[in-house]
Amino acid sequence: MSADLIPFFVIVPLLAAGLLVLAGGSGRIGKAGLLAVLGADVVWAVWLVATLLDGGTVLAHRVSGWPAGIAIPFAADLFTALMLTATGFVTLISSWFGVVSGQAEKRYFGPLVLVLTAGFNGALLTADLFNLFVFIEVMLVPSYALIILAHRGRGRLMQVTSSRIYVSVNLLASTIFLAGVGLVYGTAGTVNLAELAGRAAESTAVAVSVAVTLVALAVKAAVVPVHGWLARTYPFMSPTVTALFSGLHTKIAVYAIYRIYAVIFDGAEQYLWIGLVVFTVSMVVGVLGAVGERDARAILAYSTVSQIGYILLGVALFGAAGLTAGIFFLLHHTVVKVSLFLSTGAVEIAYGRQPLGEVTGLLRREPLTAVVFFAAAMSLTGIPPFSGFVAKLALILAAFEEQQVVVALVAVGVSLFTLLYLLKIWGKMFLGKPEDSSSEVVAAVGTKERRISVGLIAPALVLAVVTLVLGVGGELLLGVAATAADGLVDTSAFVEAVVNS
């Protein structure tokens, strides 16, 4: 792949979004067009991965050939390419679920998802802090509309309330991020990542300025103590939108934290202790919040807070082993969490949104759904042979390698609590007896009629199979992740490519 083709990751979804609006958006052509463009995006990303593995290091392009400081600089290394592939794939699968479940019937669903995809791809590819802000905002604008557009079971009021929280928090985080970008420009005279390389490790003023942007990204990633918004919004979105946001929104913030710390801070050791403390606390607070919830989607929302703590430990354990584990964990979580949201979403669509214990005994009624959820749950917990086992083992070994014994032990302990809250969902939804035998929902579950079609659970099934494949072939992906991590440990190739583009 030529570096000149990189901008098409942004251009094609935007053009396709416009064409879908003109075509009507929600008909057969609109749905087919949405899935076709997203499928092409995944193929494009896989091609990029293959190109970079086959002797390439970094592809960089300055849009339209404008001079530095004016042009939008794009750069793709193996870390970027892996993220484009994983997130593109879960976006395709989530949209497929939306089509099958009927949640993609709204006229502008397809165009909004494509604009969201364009913004996400641009945020992954940009090598400039200001344009990172711009592309994140391009992501957020369609996200606000998707929250309202896709109806869910608890009624419009809760949906609007959750959307207000989501919009308010993200606007605040975006404002903080933009202020940080302004401070960086004021202290360093540039916002280009290549020109900022290593500056935060050399200058306290630059470090403080960049830290402001990292705080904003921490809000968007739902890191403790700025995590509360996620648990108050994810449970009240439609299953399709929740899956989309789980696969994209927190992940772009995590990716940006990895990239910024590796390039601008150059992995500065003097600040790593902050990450170790904050991310370890995130793991603990998130898992305790999940254990205390009684709603499946709320449990999974708090679970995201905990798992983001795991992923970001890769940055705090800055080094080849820690970054490799963190990248692998990021890819694993992108897949498995979407599978969990889609499998519980299928139950919700078929049986209605009910507290845990109301819809129960589904193991015999919906065996395929039960198997899919169980596989994804075991992967999230870290049970072999799924990808979660490889991810957590690699992270724990990296912690021991860096003499962070307490962190490693906490990671093991949090995994046990993860198993606890996932078994709570499993037991009450698939094994348990009804708490209210007079409920109409319970009566429906008690019938012999199967409500969740193969087509509805198929998207979650595909992701569950992927997490199994990633676990069985974990050594191969760990090798690829290690190559990507090398590009973060030594960012000279990234910097040189951006400067010379």
Confidence band for 445, pLDDT divided at 50, 70 and 90: low
- pLDDT of residue 147 exceeding 90, the answer is no
Query: Considering the chain, what is the average pLDDT of its residues?
Result: 91
Tell me which residue of 12, 33, 163 sits closest to 99, measured CA to CA.
33
- pLDDT of residue 91 exceeding 80, the answer is yes
Host domain of residue 331: 3-500
- pLDDT of residue 447 exceeding 70, the answer is no
127 phi and psi, to 5 degrees? -115, 40
- The residues, ordered by sequence, that sit 6+ positions from 407 with a Cβ below 8 Å of its Cβ are 276, 280, 313, 317, 399
Are the beta carbons of 221 and 275 closer than 8 angstroms?
A: no
More confident residue, 155 or 328: 328
pLDDT at 443: 45
Strand partners, 75: 60
Q: Is 25 helix (H, G, I), strand (E, B) or coil?
A: coil
Distance CA(412)–CA(87), nearest Å, equals: 27
- The residues, ordered by sequence, that sit 6+ positions from 165 with a Cβ below 8 Å of its Cβ are 229, 232, 233
pLDDT at 60: 94
Q: Which two tokens stand for residue 441?
A: 């929902």
Are the beta carbons of 184 and 210 closer than 8 angstroms?
A: yes
Name the residue with tokens 């998802």: 113
Tell me which residue of 377, 372, 364, 380 sits closest to 346, measured CA to CA.
372
Mean pLDDT of 209-222: 97
Overall domain count for the chain: 1
CA dihedral 221, 225, 229, 234 (to 10 degrees): 60
- Cis peptide preceding 385, ω within 30 of 0: yes
Share of the chain above pLDDT 90, in %: 74
- pLDDT of residue 361 exceeding 90, the answer is no
Tell me which residue of 304, 288, 284 sits closest to 242, measured CA to CA.
304
pLDDT digits (tens, 9 = 90+) for 118-131: 999 999 999 999 99
- pLDDT of residue 57 exceeding 80, the answer is yes
pLDDT at 24: 72
- pLDDT of residue 400 exceeding 80, the answer is yes
- pLDDT of residue 417 exceeding 90, the answer is yes
**Looking at 154-163, 184-193, 368-377, which range is the least confident one?**
154-163
Q: Is 310 helix (H, G, I), strand (E, B) or coil?
A: helix
pLDDT digits (tens, 9 = 90+) for 18-49: 999 988 766 788 899 999 999 999 999 999 99
Confidence band for 431, pLDDT divided at 50, 70 and 90: confident
